[in-house]
Structure 1
Amino acid sequence: MQQSASASSSDDHRRDGKLVTADGRPLQASLRSAERRRKIIAFLFVSPLLAFLLISFVIPIGQMMWRSVDNPTIINTLPRTLEAMQEWDGQNIPDEPVFAALAEDLREAQQNRRVGPLAVRLNYEISGARGALSRKARSVATMDAPYREQFLESDRLWQNPRLYQIIQREGRPLTLSYYVAATDRAYDADGNIVRRPEQQRIYMTLFGRTFAMSAAILVLTLLLGFPIAFWMAHLPMRYANLLMIMVLLPFWTSLLVRTTSWIVLLQQQGVINSSLVALGILDSGNRLSLMYNMTGTIIAMTHILLPFMVLPLYSVMKTIPPSYMRAARSLGANNWTAFWRVYVPQTVPGIGAGGVLVFIISIGYYITPALVGGQSGRMISNMIAYHMQNSLNWGLAAALGTMLLVSVLILYWAYNKLVGADIKLG
């Protein structure tokens, strides 16, 4: 009887040789439906985070990259001029039809209040264009044909063929001129990209300085943070917690306050120099120059970024069993060999995580170099901020930011390929 009931139950869960659920649905279809529901529920849980990342991270970066090549000003403000310049040879000053079209475009731009953006855009490419264009736009309403001589007599800039070459070259919806400028290059009279004179090359120098200073800060934080993390990992818990509070204490203080404190410490009449003079180590007239230079920036940023190296190192070191070191010593290794050959390789994930954090954060730092860096301690982030806030050359700022982002991604890819260590943050 029992065998008959069992066989009947087995037959109830089969249909045409396929397994089915209690409600008669095919088992495979039911499993796929359950898996689909599970994925939908998981997606709904993470969708707020995805929306936040999309709005606050992906879209702004995409807008920045688009701004670095977007070039609508000239093509929207001078359409007649660009059409008339199609017959221009690109060498001499254009003929009357070009100036007639230019006058008509300027009249319309003056009425629509679009002269300002046009003047600013041209001034990025050639000095003096803003003033010459603004003055001519105000007087063009009273001008009558012929226009060519009136333009040429109003300002020397209209006598420069390079102005018309720029209008023709930049009269396209997309441009690479911001990237050309960001790499310390420029267009010559023939339209070729050439290097700027040495005294005008600033951006690539700042890029090199930024990466060099970030690498120096990474090394210093590693040298200082490794012993601290090692000590914390091997102390009893109550002492380790006390040290952890001391490591985290800077996070409870404003970044501006910490940077200002370093100004007090590092200046020539500050605490460090005054202490060295009082101890007789330095003469009063030979105080160290620790402020408004690269040295001050590295010192202040090393202190500020040190916790970002200590915390990943400590989280990895805490998981390394002490028995590994004892086993190495029992097999004949001395203390240094056991430490270098057994312990340090196990801390590589923490070193990688801390190094990536410190390097990437220091590359984009702005406040500390601005306050204590001076001329030789500035980084590329300060120049990006300058173009965003002062010169208002947002296209160049976007190009510099995009180049910085791509450089970081390339370095991270190279690190992952060469080192290949898993990055663990906790």
Structure 2
Amino acid sequence: MTDFTKTRAAFHLPEGMTYLDGNSLGPMPRAAADRVATMMQDEWSDMLITGWNRAGWYVQPRKVGDRIARLIGAGDGQVVMGDTLSIKVFQALSAALALRPDRRVILSDSGNFPSDLYVAEGIARALGATLRVVEPEAVEAAITPDLAVLMLTEVDYRTGRRHDMPALTARAHEAGALALWDLAHSAGAVDVNLLGADADFAVGCTYKYLNGGPGAPAFIWTHPRHAEAAQPILQGWMGHAAPFAFDQEYRPAAGIERMRVGTPPVIALTALEAALDIWDQVDMKALRARSIELTEAFIVGVEAECPDLVLNSPRDPARRGSQVGFRHPQGYAVMQALIAEGVVGDFRAPDVLRFGFAPLYNDLEDVERAVAVLARILRDGSWDRPEYHAKSAVT
């Protein structure tokens, strides 16, 4: 049984703020600052270069990866940390294509995060492949015998729609293709089971629901059946079989270690470890049940109190992640007004107010306050002030 009152107390949440944007950036674990300070004072400061061995910095990407593996239905030794999510998408997609050399079609959907599509477009151009993008509802029908890789984000970043990972992966395999899943809005939000779904590759970030902090490193997972055959185009020093032999020619390390690229971000990984201490207390089935409770309550409340808003997320919770979107013609201004009132969500073009619900620190009181403030600013028109229409660089 997960004690969500206890996990909420483990985060620093500014007084008076209702934070519903953990699907963009999770709040800081209270222990993170001291954990990082200790690492800097006791390890970096005193150990200097010897910290790679004495403090375990070199093996940190695998050790942290093993802790994340439990949250995504993977096994020990199957996940490694490092670099950004786009780099991990590049590695996974290029490795998957290399495993299907007689095919050159990548399939994705229009709800995928644009950055993933940018990466796929670049790889397709470089390798003479084709990127097909269809509507989310048309994915299954678009899985044809010429497909090499199905590349999808499990939970849509705007709508919160959740793809059926086991069913679509099975359909891809029937067609002779591989399945690559982006878990950016899944890891720490829903009950992911990569091995159960028989996926081939998966990637994800740790600064959202996993609360690793801004710029926290990404992770990559390879199914064990591909671990010794995967050959990503991006081959880095840390992914070499013997990095400190300084060979001129690349030899891939065993298993998931070959998916390492550059020097690991030790300070960022240390902050993430503080967050994972909280996650060690969490049962993912309990988390999923709590997520559904919160999102259902929010939808009911908003539809009752805010008739001008239109639901932009699946109504069935089984088809939804841990976020809810509503549409409004002036969504940006409405969200800025909400933020000014201490209810923090975010905006996604063209007109979506997006709210992320993280059971580790959100509760029904957050839902009630968010609904009440949103209803009030829509009713009194206070959102329609000039300062709320002025767009910032980050929306």
TM over 0.5: no
Q: Give the number of the structure whose alpha-carbon radius of gyration is greater.
A: 1
Short-chain TM bin: under 0.3
